[in-house]
Amino acid sequence: MPSHQPWYHDNITRSKAEDLLSKAARDGSFLIRDSESVQGAYALCVL
């Protein structure tokens, strides 16, 4: 995954992703992060 993209966060927890999105406070905000439970998978987090 291209780490220079503003929507990609490689090593953050689900909780941290939720915090980041809640601070954005815009419907449709999203980020992609590495999965905590499945190695090599990603998680899409959407507000």
Amino acid 46: pLDDT: 96
Express each pLDDT in 6-42 by its tens digit.
999 999 999 999 999 999 999 999 999 999 999 999 9
| pLDDT reading at 1 higher than 70 | no
**Inter-residue contact 46 to 28 (CB < 8 Å):** yes
Amino acid 13: pLDDT: 97
Whole-angstrom distance, CA of residue 27 vs CA of residue 41:
25
Amino acid 4: pLDDT: 87
Which has the higher per-residue pLDDT, 7 or 2? 7
Strand order through the sheet with 42-46: 8-9, 30-34, 42-46
- Domains of the chain, CATH where assigned: 8-46 (3.30.505.10)
CA nearest 16: which of 2, 1, 36? 36
pTM of the shown model: 0.82
